[in-house]
Structures are given as structure tokens and as C-alpha cells.
């Protein structure tokens, strides 16, 4: 068995994905420092991580024979200095990610991989923001992270061999399998999934069918496991709009222009499971 205590992971961003990645790492014995901008977010995140760890254990998604890694939380981005690897899972805004990555790159030890969980910003673009582009790689974990074992790893033009080796070791320690793809806006998964969800929302907006019918048709006739609109609620509709905007700006593909249905849900604060309501009503915010 590998000694997962040799990894010291720092996760930036304590939202849907940051908490999921943290819970998965802790459940495999990897210690994590989870960083966000406000204490109140980190308090919510600690509860969410605890809940996800409990679910993961109940479902047998974490090794039963291994003690959980230790969790620390912080609002000080300078704490990345202690990391053997940094996973960036902040808001899908190129401006925010650029500011964060520039600061991280200055604070880490040279040779520490900067692993971005971006849904669609090209890794080459992100690598241009830091002083050592060979340290930047994409690792596109999905939600719920503790259940989805495969990770889309995105190799940029400059991503170094040492970075690829380090990300492979970290993912193995977290019990994940990786599929490596080349860099491109949205890589493979978002480039295929996000325009499909956008089209599903447009059909609802045009009155062709309601959300339940769209999802039931995709599930029962085409074998989609959850349906595109339930998936939108799981992702977070704000994140989906941000990711579609990234894709639309970088590809010019009109199918990626966020639909009015998605935009109006964000304006109304109906963000999906994380706000308690999206295409479906959950009664309360879920994570």
C-alpha cells in the first residue's frame, strides 16, 4: 500500500468541487489544506466534506482499512507553500483563475504541480499566467467526486514529464484512474456535455417539453444516467453558464452561447442543488 501521508494536498476553492476533491483525498488518507476567501465558506465546506466522507464510506467508495487524512482550512493562499501538489478549483472565471494561479506560482516550491479542475479554460492559456508553465496540468474531476473514479487529465503543450508523473501518483493515491487528452477548450467532456445541456434547456424554454420529460426521454430512450437537466442542477447552473461562456468565447460555436433559460435561472438565484432549486425543487440547499 502506498503511504498516502507523503502527499500534502492544497485545494483552492471550497465550493462544489473543492469539497468533493477534498473529501475524496481525505477518504484515501491524503491530508488536505482547503483554502477559500471567507471563513463562513470554509465552515460550510467543513460540514459538506464531513457529509461527503460519510456518504463515501457508506457506499464503500473509500478504503475501509485506512484512517482519513487530516483536514485544515485556511483563508491564506500563502499556505500553498506547504503543498506537494495544488489543486485549483476556484470559480470558472479566467480573471479569478489568473489572479489565483499567478499568486500560487510565486508561493510554491519549484516542481510542485499546479493541477487545475477547470471545466474548459485551455491549459496552455493557464500555463501562460505562471512563471513555470511546465508545472501546470488539468485534472477534470467530476461531481460527485467520491463516486466518479475516472478523471480527464489534460496535458498542455508545455506540461512537463515530472508534472505528469506527479499527477498520476496523486490520482493513484486517491483511487482514481486517469484518461489523458490533449488541450482544447472544454477538452472532451465539457465540449460534448455542456452544449447538450444548453440545448436541453433551450427545448424547455421553447415549450417543447418540460424538464422531467426531457430527462426521462434521455434516460429511458438514450441511456443517459441522470438526464441533462438533473445534471445541470448537480453541476450548478452558475458554473454551467460560466463554462459555456468560456467555451463560446474560445470556439465561436453558437451552441455554447448560454441559453436564456439558464441565464434567467442564474438571475433568479436558482442554481440547482446547491441553492435548493434549479430545474427541480430540492426543498433545501444540498451538497
Ligand X SMILES: NC(=O)c1ccc[n+]([C@@H]2O[C@H](COP(=O)([O-])OP(=O)(O)OC[C@H]3O[C@@H](n4cnc5c(N)ncnc54)[C@H](O)[C@@H]3O)[C@@H](O)[C@H]2O)c1
Which H/E stretch holds residue 118? none
Q: Would you count residue 142 as binding ligand X (CB under 6 A)?
A: yes
* Cβ-based nearer residue to ligand X, 96 or 172: 96
Q: Would you count residue 118 as binding ligand X (CB under 6 A)?
A: yes
Cell numbers placing 179: 484518461
Could you say which DSSP state residue 75 is in? S
How many residues form the binding site for ligand X (CB under 6 A)? Answer: 27
Q: Are 151 and 139 in contact (CB under 8 A)?
A: yes
Q: Are 158 and 182 in contact (CB under 8 A)?
A: no
Q: Looking at 48, 143, 163, 198, which residue binds ligand X (CB under 6 A)?
A: 143
- Return the number of other C-beta atoms located less than 10 Å from residue 38's C-beta: 10
CA separation for the pair 262, 271 (Å, rounded):
9
Q: Would you count residue 92 as binding ligand X (CB under 6 A)?
A: yes
Q: Looking at 9, 17, 136, 139, which residue binds ligand X (CB under 6 A)?
A: 17
Stretch that binds ligand X, among 35-43, 157-165, 198-206, 210-218 (CB under 6 A): 35-43
Q: Are 13 and 249 in contact (CB under 8 A)?
A: no
Decide the pairing of beta strands 136-140 and 150-155.
Answer: antiparallel
CA separation for the pair 8, 16 (Å, rounded):
21
Q: Would you count residue 21 as binding ligand X (CB under 6 A)?
A: no
* Cβ-based nearer residue to ligand X, 62 or 119: 119
Q: Would you count residue 236 as binding ligand X (CB under 6 A)?
A: yes
**Minimum Å distance from CB 17 to ligand X?**
3
Evaluate the CA torsion angle 282, 25, 32, 55 in order and state its sign.
positive
CA separation for the pair 128, 133 (Å, rounded):
6
Could you say which DSSP state residue 150 is in? E
* 248 carries an active-site annotation: no
Q: Looking at 37, 107, 172, 196, which residue binds ligand X (CB under 6 A)?
A: 37
Is 36 annotated to bind a ligand? Reply is yes
CA separation for the pair 204, 230 (Å, rounded):
13
Phi and psi dihedrals of 59, rounded to 5? -90, 0
Q: Would you count residue 89 as binding ligand X (CB under 6 A)?
A: yes
**Minimum Å distance from CB 103 to ligand X?**
8
Q: Which position has the grid cell 468533493?
A: 20
Q: Would you count residue 43 as binding ligand X (CB under 6 A)?
A: no
Q: Looking at 50, 96, 148, 158, which residue binds ligand X (CB under 6 A)?
A: 96
Residue 260, C-beta contacts closer than 8 angstroms, at least 6 positions apart: 205
Give me the catalytic one of 7, 28, 55, 140.
Answer: 140
Q: Would you count residue 272 as binding ligand X (CB under 6 A)?
A: no
Q: Would you count residue 35 as binding ligand X (CB under 6 A)?
A: yes
Q: Would you count residue 186 as binding ligand X (CB under 6 A)?
A: no
Is 160 annotated to bind a ligand? Reply is no
**Minimum Å distance from CB 90 to ligand X?**
4
Question: Binding site residues for NAD(+), as ranges?
Answer: 13-18, 36, 92, 97, 119, 143, 274
Which stretches of the chain bind ligand X, using CB under 6 A? 12-18, 35-37, 41, 89-92, 96, 100, 117-119, 140, 142-143, 235-236, 239, 243
Catalytic residues: 140
Amino acid at each position: 500500500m502506498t503511504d498516502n501521508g507523503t502527499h500534502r494536498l492544497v485545494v483552492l476553492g471550497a465550493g462544489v468541487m473543492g469539497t468533493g476533491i477534498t473529501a475524496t483525498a481525505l477518504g484515501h488518507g491524503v491530508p488536505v489544506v482547503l483554502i477559500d476567501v471567507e471563513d463562513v465558506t470554509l465552515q460550510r465546506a467543513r460540514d459538506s466534506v464531513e457529509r461527503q466522507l460519510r456518504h463515501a464510506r457508506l457506499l464503500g467508495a473509500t478504503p475501509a482499512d485506512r484512517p482519513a487524512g487530516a483536514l485544515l482550512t485556511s483563508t491564506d493562499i500563502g499556505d500553498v507553500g506547504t503543498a506537494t501538489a495544488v489543486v485549483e478549483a476556484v470559480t470558472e472565471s479566467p480573471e479569478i483563475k489568473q489572479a489565483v494561479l499567478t499568486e500560487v506560482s510565486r508561493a510554491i516550491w519549484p516542481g510542485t504541480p499546479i493541477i487545475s479542475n477547470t471545466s474548459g479554460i485551455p491549459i496552455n492559456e493557464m500555463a501562460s499566467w505562471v512563471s513555470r508553465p511546465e508545472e501546470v496540468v488539468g485534472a477534470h474531476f467530476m461531481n460527485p467526486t467520491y463516486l466518479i473514479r475516472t478523471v480527464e487529465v489534460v496535458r498542455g503543450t508545455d506540461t512537463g514529464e515530472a508534472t505528469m508523473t506527479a499527477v498520476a501518483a496523486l490520482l493513484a493515491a486517491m483511487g482514481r484512474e486517469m484518461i489523458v487528452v490533449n488541450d482544447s477548450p472544454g477538452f472532451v467532456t465539457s465540449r460534448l456535455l455542456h452544449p447538450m445541456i444548453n440545448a436541453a434547456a433551450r427545448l424547455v424554454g421553447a415549450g417543447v417539453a418540460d424538464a422531467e420529460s426531457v430527462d426521462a426521454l434521455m434516460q429511458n430512450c438514450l441511456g443517459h444516467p441522470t438526464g441533462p437537466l438533473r445534471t445541470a442542477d448537480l453541476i450548478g447552473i452558475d458554473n454551467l453558464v460560466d463554462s459555456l461562456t468560456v467555451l463560446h468565447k474560445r470556439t465561436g460555436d453558437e451552441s455554447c452561447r448560454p441559453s436564456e433559460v439558464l441565464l434567467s435561472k442564474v438571475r433568479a438565484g436558482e442554481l440547482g442543488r446547491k441553492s435548493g432549486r434549479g430545474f427541480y425543487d430540492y426543498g433545501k440547499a444540498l451538497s
